[in-house]
Amino acid sequence: MKRLVSGIKPTGDLTLGNYIGAIKQFVNMQNELIDTEFFIFIADLHAITTPQERLVLRKNIKSIAALYIACGLDPEKVNIFIQSEISEHAELNYIMESTLYIGEMERMIQYKEKKESQTEGIRTSLLTYPALMAADILLYDANFVPIGEDQKQHLELTRTAANRFNFLYGDTFTIPEGIIPKTGARIMGLQNPEQKMSKSADKSAKDYILLIDDLKVVANKIKSAVTDSDNLVKFDKENKPGISNLLTIFSALTNISIKDLEEKYKDSNYGTFKSDLANVVVDELSPIQNKYNEIINSKELDDILDKGRDRAKLIARRKLDKVYHKVGLGRKK
């Protein structure tokens, strides 16, 4: 049986970018990858690399868990759990910090970018979180890790860590492979289509669509998305980033190819295209929101998280004991 691991940081309410780039992919994979056990977690330890308000963080953790289910993750097939409830993640993180080099961390593009956007008190964990990410993956001997383009470098570092550890202490970790989704790898902002749609960035609310946004608001956000003055529905990322982004969203949600969409709308104006896209997005989000409201305060959700935690804990503890033994920590058992 193979294993797949992934997680999302509870740094804000989830966006359509998180859905298309991550959750929808998980849902497709759970149905396509047979003989694979899934571990999909809420990466709350990763969230505190930047300041979080405690009650908001707690709300976000629960909200992501409910959205995982509402978007179609099947708890019978997927272990859904909260990262901080498995202390082995933090323990293996330390072993990974003692395997990777500072220079390797400092080369991470995300660190350089995030450091620039912060004005005060850059936390040490913002530099070292790739070690925690390596721990998240290696703890479960993951074979597959679904990743966005911007996580490629971190996954490579995870592979480096696994190979180095295996070389130093003997064969211990499976070397994971990244899976990059074919479409919708990167959804851009509706107002700033040159920048990624992001859940925590300090931007105008019109730039992103939240999965739990009021549906009328969703439609209006699509209709007021920035485009250009050509009025030609054509994919051209460089010269027409706004309409290209909307085409990407349309295609990702309907599975209609961008080429077919260009053909369909070749004689239409942006108004018609946006109005159809607004309907597509609303139709996608409507059942998700119904399920979300049904489950968010339910005992069922807690039961799912308990079950996921227990299964994850079992595997994680076994792996960590093996790691400690290989490194020579503690007493011989």
Q: Out of 24, 199, 221, 240, name the contact with ligand AQP by CB under 6 A.
A: 199
Determine the residue with CB nearest ligand AQP. Answer: 21
Please report whether residue 200 would count as binding ligand AQP according to CB under 6 A. yes
- Residues contacting 12, CB < 8 A, separation 6+: 60, 199, 200
Out of 13, 17, 73, 143, point to the residue binding ligand AQP (CB under 6 A).
Answer: 17
Region of 16-24, 210-218, 224-232, 234-242 interacting with ligand AQP (CB under 6 A): 16-24
- Find the binder of ligand AQP among 4, 11, 42, 68 (CB under 6 A): 11
Give the torsion sign (CA, 120, 124, 125, 131): positive
Q: Please list, in sequence order, all residues whose beta carbon lies within 8 angstroms of the beta carbon of residue 267, skipping any fewer than 6 positions away.
A: none
Residue-by-residue DSSP string for 156-195: HHHHHHHHHHHHHH-S-----EEE--SS-S-PBPSS-TTS
Size of the site for ligand AQP (CB under 6 A): 20
Longest dimension (CA), the chain: 74
The verdict on 64 binding ligand AQP (CB under 6 A) reads no
Q: Which residue among 21, 130, 193, 241 contacts ligand AQP (CB under 6 A)? A: 21
x/- track of binding to ligand AQP for residues 164-193 (CB under 6 A): ----------------------xx------
Q: Give the footprint of ligand AQP on residues 111-150 (CB under 6 A).
A: 148
Residue 43 in contact with ligand AQP, rule: CB under 6 A: yes
Judged by CB under 6 A, the residue of 197, 225, 233, 320 near ligand AQP is: 197
8 Å CB contact between 189 and 207: yes
Tell me the closest approach of the beta carbon of residue 255 to ligand AQP, in angstroms: 17
By annotation, the residues acting in catalysis are 114, 196, 199
The verdict on 154 binding ligand AQP (CB under 6 A) reads: no
Position 8 contacts ligand AQP (CB under 6 A): yes
The token pair at 281 is: 């997005």
CB-CB contact of 185 with 21 (8 Å): yes
CA dihedral sign of residues 313, 315, 177, 78:
negative
Binding mask 215-244 for ligand AQP (x = CB under 6 A): ------------------------------
- Does position 24 bind ligand AQP by CB under 6 A? no
- Under a CB-based contact definition with an 8 Å cutoff, are residues 223 and 215 in contact? no
Half-sphere CA count of 186, side-chain side, radius 13 A: 13
